[in-house]
Amino acid sequence: MTIRNLQEVAAIPKSEPPLVSVKDVGKTYFTGQSAVHAVASASLDVRRGEFVSLLGPSGCGKSTLLMMIAGLEKPTAGSIDLLGSPVLAPRRDIGIIFQDATLLPWKSAMDNVLFPIRILKLPVHKYRQRAQELLDMVGLTGFEHKKPGELSGGMRQRVAICRSLIHDPDILLMDEPFSALDAITRDQMNVALSEILETYRKTVIFVTHSIREAAFLSDRVVVMGGRPSGIMLDMPMPFARPRRFEVEETVEFTQVCRELRLTIEAAHGHASSNHAAPKGAAVIE
Ligand code: ADP
């Protein structure tokens, strides 16, 4: 099993270009007469093997930034490079996981996991063993033939994680993947995700509005906010891996969460001075 830790990530040569490079990126949505500045001047490098969370309140542009990295939204300013080439359209070298598992209800767990392989027109029989390994890894042995309707929310999200990993992408983009789950299942999913990434090492960008979730999972936490919304803080998480629940009981964890909370509060206080903003830190003109 590959154990990832900060030292290991730090050991990756500095000369290696970042896997994801976001340079002065902005996004303004134009709707009718008004413009919404969702993201302004965001710059961020993510190195191979890092787990980086984008943290902030609703409406501060986290999903917009993630969707631009995925090539699903176009920046209105700046540029994004992935694996050394500019992101101009949706890419196959990434896996994406959304808040809802978005599984095909008529297909089994196994067939849902294999679905990207069919879309990519790769030989499905060559990926069955990997699909089974992934399902075993997330504790779904014996559930391969169940349909999504026969699985719990946590199980469905586990299937979605397997589906995102089946074609072995370098980069995983996760948009609040556990926020629809109950608190206990969410904690379990955080530990499960840590374990999965100890085995299948990936570069991850993870959107969340949970401070504890971000601190627990990440190598770095990037706080978004301000007016217009940009990057307020980029903070390394000093906890060794592998991480288990116990890390949350340490004084260091509490201190890190406090610093993140204070940064968010400062950004949000700034944002709330404009009553025109409909939510979070976005600006409406
Ligand atoms: P977050 O993920 O932090 O909750 P979003 O990136 O979803 O924030 O949204 C940032 C801002 O951009 C919000 O004010 C939101 O209403 C606005 N926004 C997001 N998508 C669109 C869109 N397609 N059209 C217009 N405004 C949008």
Percent over 90 (pLDDT), the chain: 60
pLDDT digits (tens, 9 = 90+) for 87-100: 988 887 888 988 88
Q: 29: Cβ below 6 Å to ligand 1? A: yes
pLDDT digits (tens, 9 = 90+) for 227-272: 788 899 999 999 998 888 889 999 999 999 999 999 999 887 654 4
Query: Tokens at residue 67, please?
Result: 């969707």
HSE-CB at 117 with a 13 A cutoff on CA atoms is 21
* Nearest-atom index, ligand 1, CA of 282: 14
Q: Which helix (H) or strand (E) holds 173?
A: strand 171-175
* Nearest-atom index, ligand 1, CA of 27: 12
Q: 63: Cβ below 6 Å to ligand 1? A: yes
Maximum Cα–Cα distance for the chain, whole Å? 58
pLDDT digits (tens, 9 = 90+) for 84-132: 889 988 887 888 988 887 899 999 999 999 999 998 889 999 999 999 9
Sequence spans of domains, the chain? 1-93+171-186+202-285, 100-168
What pLDDT is stored for residue 11 in this prediction? 52
Across the chain, mean pLDDT equals: 86
What pLDDT is stored for residue 98 in this prediction? 87
What pLDDT is stored for residue 15 in this prediction? 66
- Among protein residues, the one with the nearest Cα to ligand 1's atom 26 is 29
Expressed in percent and rounded to 5, the helix, strand and coil fractions of the chain are 35, 25, 40
pLDDT digits (tens, 9 = 90+) for 151-200: 998 899 999 999 999 998 999 999 998 888 888 888 888 888 888 888 88
Q: 44: Cβ below 6 Å to ligand 1? A: no
- Among protein residues, the one with the nearest Cα to ligand 1's atom 21 is 29
Separation of alpha carbons 86 and 270, rounded Å: 33
| CA nearest neighbour of 134 among 181, 85, 175, 167 | 167
d(CA 65, ligand 1 centre) in Å: 10
pTM over 0.85: yes
Backbone torsions φ then ψ of 44, nearest 5 degrees: -160, 130
Look up the CATH architecture of domain 1-93+171-186+202-285. 3-Layer(aba) Sandwich (3.40)
